[in-house]
Amino acid sequence: MIGALSLLPFLWFVLTSVKSAGQITAIPPQIMPAFHADFYRSAVSEHGLFRYLANSVIVAGSTTLISIAIGALAAYALTRFRFSWARSCLMLLLAISMFPQISIAGPVWKILSHLGWLNTYQGISAAYVSLSLPLAIWILSTFFRELPYEIEEAALIDGCSRLQALRKVVLPLAAPGLFTAAILVFIHAWNEFFFALIILTNSNLQTLPVGIALFPGEYTMPWGEIAAASTMATLPLVVLTLLFQRRIIRGLSAGAVKG
């Protein structure tokens, strides 16, 4: 029941995207649409939807790869090497992830401005990595902590270096956790709006959330095109989650139970 209620907004803008202009403003509201693709064609041809989609794929994909690569190394170090401050470091990462975005927007913008990274893919990706790393490290450290150290120790005895043991033994065993962290980081980067709005002011580089929010309209808001673009932006995440929901759940719960 709760799941069905949560899907109602998504269903509403899917139906809106295939209505006619008259049906969108009709009073009382008309539930059954006319089932045409005019708004989709307009979103693609007049508003550059595919450009925003490509930008989001580049930014979210690069953010995911970098966050998982750095997060895996950091989580491995925090769980395998005996640091007295390892637990404090994890708690600090968790606290950092709770900072409101507006509180760090100024410093992030100033740093990227000094680097000349405003309106660049590397600039927005760097901002997203800084936001996503605490989540990735927390998930992966919880997962790595439950992996049997004896298997890794056997690889070290057989002549593997620490990095070889990580690459050949630990990471394959941690695949569910890596996959879960990657999916969550990708979804976060795909949906993020605030930093994309202040860092990417060039319309050719804007991501889907910002591009859709700034769809131009003459005299009125183009609700049909916005609904069509929102459907195309949300559908990949819905499909991705439905296809891999078992692996996501298994990855989230794997570190919580020993044995």
Does residue 106 form part of some domain? Answer: yes
Cα–Cα distance, 52 to 213 (Å, whole number): 11
Does residue 234 form part of some domain? Answer: yes
Does residue 21 form part of some domain? Answer: no
Report pTM: 0.87
28 preceded by cis ω (within 30°)?
A: yes
pLDDT in tens, 117-143: 999 999 999 999 999 998 899 888 888
CATH code of the domain covering residue 128: 1.10.3720.10
pLDDT in tens, 236-246: 888 888 887 77
Does residue 22 form part of some domain? Answer: no
Cα–Cα distance, 249 to 238 (Å, whole number): 15
Across 109-113, 172-176, 193-197, least confident range: 172-176
Q: What is the pLDDT of residue 182?
A: 92
Residue ranges in the chain assigned as alpha helix (H): 2-17, 21-24, 38-45, 49-80, 86-97, 101-115, 121-145, 149-157, 162-165, 171-173, 175-191, 194-199, 208-213, 223-243, 245-254
Does residue 249 form part of some domain? Answer: yes
Q: What is the pLDDT of residue 250?
A: 66
Does residue 9 form part of some domain? Answer: no
What is residue 99's DSSP assignment?
A: S
Decide: helix, strand or coil at residue 249: helix
Cα–Cα distance, 203 to 118 (Å, whole number): 13
Among 200, 97, 181, residue whose Cα is nearest residue 140? 181
Does residue 129 form part of some domain? Answer: yes
Q: What is the mean pLDDT of residues 208-214?
A: 92
Report the amino acid identity of residue 121.
Answer: Y
Q: Which domain holds residue 61?
A: 51-214+230-254
Among 155, 151, 153, 172, residue whose Cα is nearest residue 164? 155
Using the predicted structure, report yes or no on whether residue 231 has a pLDDT greater than 60. Answer: yes
Angle at 93 between CA 89 and CA 96, to 5 degrees: 135
Q: What is the pLDDT of residue 9?
A: 82
Question: Which position has the higher pLDDT, 69 or 95?
Answer: 69
What is residue 167's DSSP assignment?
A: I
Please tell me the total count of domains within the chain: 1
Among 238, 122, 243, residue whose Cα is nearest residue 187? 238
Instruction: Tell the residue number behind the tokens 């490290």, with chain if given.
Output: 137
Q: What is the pLDDT of residue 163?
A: 84
Using the predicted structure, report yes or no on whether residue 45 has a pLDDT greater than 80. Answer: yes
Cα–Cα distance, 174 to 14 (Å, whole number): 37
Q: Which two tokens stand for residue 71?
A: 């997060």
Does residue 16 form part of some domain? Answer: no
